[in-house]
Structure 1
């Protein structure tokens, strides 16, 4: 049913037809989800961690170098409190509309559209489609570019490792673009997985590898760390803004919270999943950035693994990091592809699964082409972090929350019941 017509209907709030011949006054969207591949608590938390952490954590020490040690640490604390609040705000707004509209799930663009179409201001309702398209465009560009960064970082790590263990590879000195084409092979096949449920084991394995990488990076960073007073506390405002861009790119997961929530077995427990996952995210990012800059100073380069000595353990670890980034690529790829598939998938009624696989492969190749054309990773991260993420992570969720809860008496954080 058209959302706007539904919102203007005159039916009583105490009566809803759930199925033909059945009535229920209280709508439970959890019971209405009939997904055979829903995720449990641990799988959902692993997707949150994997969707937020990835290539960014490998470059966060370079962000600290741009902003200064203590200024960057304080900024990390502030943004680390704001971002999960915005993520939870988005989920609570969606769950409010599930009950209000009697629908079991909404994506981020769906949520934006219905929030405007059923909002308190009738004059804005005709712009619901335009708002949806704006979210679609920003989400697609941001996550499409994020996948490019992951592929570039995989290629850089692979190049360093191969040239360190093979004299032939070192003599060939192949450009980074060749390695980007090489990593296309595993990425291509992993992106053929169409369900987050089947990606969950890969995410759990990748999260464990990230933990090993963080501990190893801290070990080598602390081993050559200097006194904290030897690092500048603050450098410049432009440098701090560059750090904010890298930090947002490193920890933002607003684009993937609703896909994760939509696939949960118990979506009402999302706040516990977010609390658990976000604790891991903030510890990992803060420790890697702080001690990475403390140890390597103005010599910081991305990824942080390039600073590690070429020993057997670190060489194996860097190969495993390529695996982590491949999984992160597949999780992040889920959202931009669903955006594209929503518009083109309706054309294909027969052999729908085959066509979906075809377009998945086509979009993966498009990501590779962009990565080959623009292999400068840190500039892409700063651009995405400062521009598109500002809309996706802060502006759009705040606007949606205002529309959904405009007529609520209690405003502010207390409404969300942050009691764990």
Structure 2
């Protein structure tokens, strides 16, 4: 069936999870989502390590243009670290948060390195945009990967929504003249309707995620910190601080421009494909 039909079919479950306000009630769903994700990862590794080719045949360097897009998507993948920060107030031992963030970063980095290398080693020609789409999807085991990852995203949606709501809703509520009955539920419903509408409008998200990562994640993780550091430490600033921040600023500009160009090229190629190609 068309991808949009699956999105509409799952939207009621997404709405139910999105309306859950209690973090303790969301934790079991998040654990289930993590288990499904690990199932998808391990089955994918099974196919990537099956009859593994000799890496010596690979080219050390290929194309330069996709590198900035990979860097931006990698930053986008690491953005889930920001999900941990608003959860600090709900932790029994908030002092463990730095350790949690470190483990989170290490896990994401190792996963990207392993899948990036094994995917490039196994599938070098006529490849799709993600590793999973290159697997033999006519086999039941390979199909289970798509199902497992889809369920992982579904069960994790409530926790993902918890963070922006906990940040945005108090700001919106403070600007309202009076208390609105079921105001937070209405706000959550509006966010979920907007997310579902966006998913239906753009079901192939890889090019769009690249652009969003260039505009948002690179700005949040690279540009804004150096602006804050420079502004707050202007009087005590050293040459090293200026040199470091200028270098990071140039990297941000390079990623922003390069990914925007890559987005236009890839979006043009993706528009030539039909849904059956995916």
TM-score range, shorter chain: 0.7 to 0.9
**1:356 counterpart (184, 191, 200):** 184
Please tell me the root mean square deviation across aligned C-alpha atoms, in Å: 2.9
Q: Deviations over 1:308-351 (max 9, x none)?
A: 44444444443222111113433332333345423432337546
1:365 aligns with 2:188: no
Instruction: Give SS of 2:125's match.
Output: helix
2:41 is aligned to 214
Q: Equivalences for 1:215-254 in 2 at 5 Å?
A: 215-253=42-80
Question: What's the CA shift for 1:227?
Answer: 2.2
1:197/1:371 Cα in 2 relative to 1: closer, same or farther (>3 Å)?
Answer: same
Q: Distance in 2 between matches of 1:364 and 1:383?
A: 22
1:409/1:175 Cα in 2 relative to 1: closer, same or farther (>3 Å)?
Answer: closer
Q: Distance in 2 between matches of 1:204 and 1:250?
A: 19
Asked whether the 8 Å contact 1:249–1:389 carries over to 2, the reply is yes
Instruction: Give SS of 1:342's match.
Output: helix
1:246/1:205 Cα in 2 relative to 1: closer, same or farther (>3 Å)?
Answer: same
1:312/1:254 Cα in 2 relative to 1: closer, same or farther (>3 Å)?
Answer: closer
Q: Equivalences for 1:252-401 in 2 at 5 Å?
A: 252-253=79-80, 255-306=82-133, 307-346=135-174, 347=176, 350=179, 352=181, 354-401=182-229
2:257 is aligned to none
1:80 is aligned to none
Instruction: Give SS of 2:203's match.
Output: coil
Instruction: Give SS of 1:250's match.
Output: helix
Unaligned runs of 5+ in 1: 1-173, 413-420
Q: Equivalences for 1:16-415 in 2 at 5 Å?
A: 174-253=1-80, 255-306=82-133, 307-346=135-174, 347=176, 350=179, 352=181, 354-402=182-230
Q: Deviations over 1:79-119 (max 9, x none)?
A: xxxxxxxxxxxxxxxxxxxxxxxxxxxxxxxxxxxxxxxxx
1:267/1:277 Cα in 2 relative to 1: closer, same or farther (>3 Å)?
Answer: same
Q: Distance in 1 between matches of 2:197 and 2:126?
A: 30
TM-score (normalised: structure 1): 0.50
Asked whether the 8 Å contact 1:180–1:371 carries over to 2, the reply is yes
Instruction: Give SS of 1:298's match.
Output: coil
Question: What's the CA shift for 1:258?
Answer: 2.1
2:275 is aligned to none
Instruction: Give SS of 1:299's match.
Output: coil
1:377/1:231 Cα in 2 relative to 1: closer, same or farther (>3 Å)?
Answer: farther
Q: Distance in 2 between matches of 1:331 and 1:406?
A: 38
1:252/1:350 Cα in 2 relative to 1: closer, same or farther (>3 Å)?
Answer: closer
Q: How many pairs are equivalent? A: 238
Q: Tell which structure's C-alpha radius of gyration is larger.
A: 1
